[in-house]
């Protein structure tokens, strides 16, 4: 990944502030840039970085619009009904960097996330969930009428 000086300063400042406020621990701040898959440029590489091929699951409820009017701010959400869910990732198949977001859940936490992502074109939104060491996935196509990744 080609990191610029400005990105390093901004990331360091944000992480330092979060640690000083007690929102995250120092260990969490150090691990923030080491999350797997965020630098990958293909959907297959991102899936491999997360741990391999996930099984399709109907226990993942994916909430994405059928049509997104503005690809720069597409609301997406997912809820995992799979017991023992520890991680959830959002992948946008045709984006330059497919892995758009990742979340970790402490034990006993409900795995329910809502966020916004950028989408450059009509493509599948895939949610990959890790539960009890296994990967599960659900996908849905979202049509984009105005591109968000430079389009």
**pLDDT tens digits, 73-101:** 999 999 999 999 999 999 999 999 999 99
Average pLDDT, the chain: 85
Residue boundaries of the structural domains of the chain: 1-34, 40-144
The DSSP call for residue 65 is -
Burial class (CB in 10 A: 0-12, 13-18, 19+), 86: middle
pLDDT in tens, 25-65: 666 655 555 566 778 889 999 999 998 899 999 999 999 99
Q: What's the CATH superfamily of 40-144?
A: SoxY domain (2.60.40.2470)
Bridge partners, residue 79, by sequence: 61, 112
Beta pairing partners, 87: 104, 130
């Amino acid at each position: 990944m080609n990191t610029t000086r400005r990105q390093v300063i901004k990331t360091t400042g944000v992480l330092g502030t979060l640690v000083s406020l007690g929102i995250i621990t120092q260990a969490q701040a150090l691990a923030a840039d080491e999350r797997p898959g965020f630098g990958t440029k293909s959907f297959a590489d991102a899936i491999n970085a997360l741990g391999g091929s996930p099984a399709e699951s109907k226990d993942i409820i994916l909430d994405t619009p059928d049509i997104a009017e503005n690809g720069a701010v597409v609301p997406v959400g997912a809820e995992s009904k799979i017991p023992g869910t520890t991680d959830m990732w959002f992948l946008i198949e045709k984006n330059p960097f497919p892995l758009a977001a990742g979340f970790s859940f402490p034990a006993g936490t409900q795995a329910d996330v809502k966020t916004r992502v950028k989408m450059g074109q009509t493509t599948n939104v895939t949610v990959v969930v890790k539960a009890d060491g296994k990967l599960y996935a659900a996908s849905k196509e979202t049509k984009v009428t105005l591109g968000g990744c430079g389009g």
